[in-house]
């Protein structure tokens, strides 16, 4: 009875903590969605324009799920420059006339839609999703170009502004439909984006596109000309022929885009298995009480998985072997998936050996590598649920070849040709992040829960390590470090390091595609697999050279 009471108390405590985290997240989301703020929105509307989010809402089919990418991009960054909410651009996966598409809309209320470094990174991420999944992409352009004070971080590198136009060209050769609507400024190098798209629309009175605006033209060649004559809708639809459709306003422009998408031919598919969706026996909200408020505590990952998979059924692979990783087949909203998840509870093997949860042991790594190969053989998408503190260390593991077994798992993840999806539930530390398909390993989508932490190592371990380094350096300079000063240093280091562990820190830098409500996991994964099904698998799975 006492154990049951404690379990109920823990569940309620976890549930309350999760609801509080989600409430705080919604407040941040509401603020981010205001873009440049209420005054900037008022000025934007005075020009007869809809906001970026209003444009997207009007473009998308009603009563269909929407998956936003990078909502918290730029959060807490560029504060000296006034901030860059959502990276100054809104990106979503949604449905237009029943067709799944990526939509990218510049938010002109944020520094007139100017491009910060994170803006370029987010645009490239959206194009990456489009390329990997062969999804049509729609650009709603309203941007003043590069943010000049940070131009050195926006312009010249491979992952900067220019790579977007490179992608435009590659996507065109791949046959990925691209539609661009010029609904505001489109200047300088940014002018190439809509014109490298398949079709370009432009709104009268507000839309303009040119390589140089009237002031620069005056200073460069001495010509006096206004922006509308230089590159407005009439100029480009009637004289230059640069754009294809002249629209009276935002509403007509969006209606025309929907009509264009409606005529697209049906895409090829990868042929992933899907049956009728069956709801889990466990409610989605029950996950709130499963995940501990303190992520160092143990819990049963199977309880979480059963709130996500169809009929709460998982066919476990090697159930009694390598117990610190759960591998198994299931369905999510009807889609067949292979699940690789870190088990977080303490386990005992048949030999009586104790294995800590969240740690990858030799047998677990070997089991996961074999399972990943099986899923590639059978053309089954992979879903990773991360709550991993890393690989097991110590002489026993090293003598057993933990590096080799870990390398086999990393190799299998790296060479997978089936689509991969990652949910960061809790810890995501060190090489465990890599082996469990962190951002560097090409997941089609990667989302995090509010309880997630991404870093080289946990906060306590990292702080102690950094403290030792700092104390040694100070002592080398002849400084005396008493216990009180050492404790103060530890506190400062811990606080600073902990800030980088916050999931909002990761989401701001697009290490994840966003922080989601755990109850939304089924929808997010189902949409991700549906998107991936648009891209037939053409590569053959091969792990290359790896020691056995």
Tens-digit pLDDT profile for residues 75-91: 999 999 999 999 999 99
Helix (H) or strand (E) holding 287: helix 287-290
Please spell the DSSP secondary structure of 330-357, one letter per residue: EEETTEEEEEEEE--S-EE-TT--EE-T
Average of per-residue pLDDT across 408-432: 96
Candidate from 174-178, 259-263, 452-456, 535-539 with smallest mean pLDDT: 452-456
Q: pLDDT at position 461, please?
A: 67
> 88: buried, middle or exposed (CB in 10 Å: 19+, 13-18, 0-12)?
buried
Residue 60's contacts (CB-CB under 8 Å, 6 or more residues apart) are 66, 92, 94, 95, 96, 103
Q: pLDDT at position 351, please?
A: 67
| Rounded-to-integer distance, Cα 196 and Cα 354, Å | 59
Percentage, residues of the chain above pLDDT 70: 95
**Is pLDDT at 527 greater than 60 in this prediction?**
yes
pLDDT band at 1 (very low <50, low <70, confident <90, very high): very low
Average of per-residue pLDDT across 211-224: 80
Average of per-residue pLDDT across 110-126: 94
Q: pLDDT at position 455, please?
A: 87
Average of per-residue pLDDT across 151-170: 90
pLDDT band at 34 (very low <50, low <70, confident <90, very high): very high
């Amino acid at each position: 009875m006492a154990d049951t009471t404690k379990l109920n108390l823990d569940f309620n405590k976890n549930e309350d903590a999760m609801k509080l985290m989600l409430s705080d997240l919604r407040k941040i989301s509401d603020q981010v969605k205001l873009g440049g703020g209420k005054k900037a929105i008022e000025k934007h509307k005075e020009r007869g324009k809809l906001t970026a989010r209003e444009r997207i809402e009007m473009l998308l089919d009603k009563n269909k799920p929407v998956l936003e990418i990078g909502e918290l991009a730029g959060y807490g960054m560029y504060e000296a420059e006034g901030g860059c909410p959502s990276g100054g651009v809104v990106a979503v996966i949604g449905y237009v006339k029943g067709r799944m598409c990526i939509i990218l809309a510049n938010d002109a209320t944020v520094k007139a839609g100017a491009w910060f470094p994170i803006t370029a990174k987010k645009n490239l991420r959206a194009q990456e999703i489009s390329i990997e999944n062969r999804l049509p992409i729609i650009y709603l352009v309203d941007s003043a170009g590069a943010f000049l004070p940070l131009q050195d971080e926006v312009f010249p590198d491979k992952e900067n502004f220019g790579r977007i136009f490179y992608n435009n060209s590659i996507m065109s050769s791949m046959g990925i439909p691209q539609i661009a609507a010029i609904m505001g400024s489109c200047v300088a190098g940014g002018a190439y984006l809509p014109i490298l798209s398949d079709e370009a629309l432009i709104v009268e009175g507000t839309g303009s596109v040119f390589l140089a605006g009237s002031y620069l033209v005056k200073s460069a060649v001495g010509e006096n000309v206004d922006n509308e004559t230089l590159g407005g809708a009439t100029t480009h639809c009637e004289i230059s022929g640069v754009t294809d459709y002249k629209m009276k306003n935002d509403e007509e422009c969006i209606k025309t885009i929907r009509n264009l998408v409606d005529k697209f031919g049906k895409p090829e598919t990868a042929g992933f298995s899907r049956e009728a969706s069956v709801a889990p026996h466990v409610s989605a909200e029950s996950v709130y009480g499963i995940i501990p408020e303190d992520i160092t505590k143990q819990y049963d990952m199977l309880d979480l998985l059963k709130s996500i998979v169809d009929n709460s059924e998982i066919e476990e692979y090697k159930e009694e072997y390598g117990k610190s990783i759960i591998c198994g087949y299931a369905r999510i909203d009807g889609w067949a998936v292979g699940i690789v998840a870190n088990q977080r509870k303490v386990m005992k093997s048949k030999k009586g050996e104790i294995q800590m949860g969240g740690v990858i042991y030799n047998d677990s790594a070997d089991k996961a590598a074999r399972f990943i190969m099986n899923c590639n053989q059978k053309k089954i998408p992979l879903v990773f649920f991360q709550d991993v503190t890393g690989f097991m260390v110590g002489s026993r593991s090293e003598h057993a070849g933990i590096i080799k077994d870990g390398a086999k798992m990393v190799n299998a993840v790296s060479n997978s040709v089936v689509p991969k999806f990652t949910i960061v539930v809790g810890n995501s530390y060190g090489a465990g992040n890599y082996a469990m398909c962190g951002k560097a390993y090409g997941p089609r989508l990667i989302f995090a829960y509010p309880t997630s932490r991404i870093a080289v190592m946990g906060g306590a371990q990292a702080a102690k390590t950094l403290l030792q380094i700092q104390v040694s350096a100070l002592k080398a300079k002849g400084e005396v470090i008493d216990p009180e000063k050492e404790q103060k240093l530890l506190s400062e280091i811990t606080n600073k390091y902990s800030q980088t562990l916050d999931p909002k820190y990761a989401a701001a830098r697009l290490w994840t595609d966003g922080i989601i409500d755990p109850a939304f996991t089924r929808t997010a994964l189902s949409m991700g697999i549906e998107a991936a099904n648009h891209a037939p698998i053409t590569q053959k799975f091969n792990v290359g050279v790896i020691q056995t």
